[in-house]
Chains A and B, each alone.
Chain A
Amino acid sequence: MTSHKRLHLKTYLLILVMIIAGPLGNLMLGKGMKNIGKITTEVSSPSEFIHVFVRILSSGTIWLGIASLLTFFVAYMLVLSWADYSYVQPASSMAYLVVALLATLLLGEVVSPLRWAGIAVICLGVFVVGRTNPRTTENC
């Protein structure tokens, strides 16, 4: 039974890593790109495109975001090696709420009540999508 408990703990822990590292990654990408400036006004010629591209690739915040998203990805892969996809995916739908929560707390973004409602409905939708059979095609 203790190994069963440990498996549960391991699963919860990794899902927690997923729903924090994923949104945090997106947040850092957002912050990094806001520092670069609006892409539509920054880029108006091919040479400016390369210049902006280099600035993106030399931004520490962007790389932190990518590292955070990679952490999310590794946690996702690891947890999928023992837990069912139809269990992990609905649990990770929480990430949509977490991203909005962190964006208001850390970046000071304003989220209207209607948008909160929309985000909650999206979470519910993703939850329902995930709670279905992960394999519907025949094995070849």
Chain B
Amino acid sequence: MFEVLFFSLIVMAGTGGELCVSRAMKEIGEVHDFRPAAIIKVLGRALRAKWMWIGIGLMTLGFFSLLAILSLENVSFVVPVTALGYVAGALGGRFFLGERVNWRRWAGVFLVCVGVTLVVIGRT
């Protein structure tokens, strides 16, 4: 029961956080200047973006959920299951960021699902 909750939080909050950070960074625009002063300026702008803070909050929630599940389950079980983030990532990329997800990427996502299913079934 708790495991399902923690795994959902890792996948949804972790991936949701990354999507929000991605959205914030896309709003800022592509970084061309990699001199330290310019990077600090970009960071300053990033930290003023609303989506960035929502993203950081969600990723923090995802990280503590990971710690929580690691207290209950083996690392060799937890880490493979977190690959479900790729499924959430593809769905979020498609519907939240408007990316075009091609059939190859969907095929990869499908393989991840098959793999996670095997990992769950193969529980010792």
Nearest-neighbour CB distance to chain B for A113, whole angstroms, equals: 7
Residues from chain B with Cβ under 8 Å of A34 in the complex: 70-71
In the assembled complex, B68 has its CB within 8 A of some CB on chain A: yes
Residues from chain A with Cβ under 8 Å of B97 in the complex: 137
Q: Which of A1-9, A11-19, A35-43 contacts B (4 or more CB under 8 A)?
A: A35-43
CB of B78 within 8 A of CB of A121, answer no
Q: Which of B79, B86, B109 has the most CB of A within 10 A?
A: B79
Contact of B122 among A33, A56, A114 (CB under 8 A): A114
CB of A104 within 8 A of CB of B108, answer no
In the assembled complex, B47 has its CB within 8 A of some CB on chain A: no
Contact of A129 among B74, B105, B118 (CB under 8 A): B105
CB of B102 within 8 A of CB of A38, answer no
CB of A39 within 8 A of CB of B72, answer yes
Question: Count the A residues whose beta carbon is within 8 Å of the partner chain — how many?
Answer: 51
Please, what's the 1-or-0 string for A104-139, where 1 marks a CB less than 8 Å from any CB in chain B? 100101111111111111111111111111001101
Interface SS majority for chain A: helix
In the assembled complex, B58 has its CB within 8 A of some CB on chain A: no
CB of B34 within 8 A of CB of A118, answer no
CB of B72 within 8 A of CB of A38, answer yes
Please, what's the 1-or-0 string for B85-124, where 1 marks a CB less than 8 Å from any CB in chain A? 0100010000001111110110111111111111111111
CB of A125 within 8 A of CB of B74, answer no
Residues from chain A with Cβ under 8 Å of B100 in the complex: 136-137
Which residue of A has the minimal Cβ distance to B83? A122
CB of A119 within 8 A of CB of B80, answer yes
Nearest-neighbour CB distance to chain B for A72, whole angstroms, equals: 13
In the assembled complex, A91 has its CB within 8 A of some CB on chain B: no
Chain B residues within CB distance 8 Å of chain A: 2, 26, 29-30, 34, 66-68, 70-72, 74-80, 83, 86, 90, 97-102, 104-105, 107-124
5 nearest A-B pairs in the assembled complex, by CB-CB distance? A118-B118, A114-B122, A125-B111, A128-B108, A122-B115
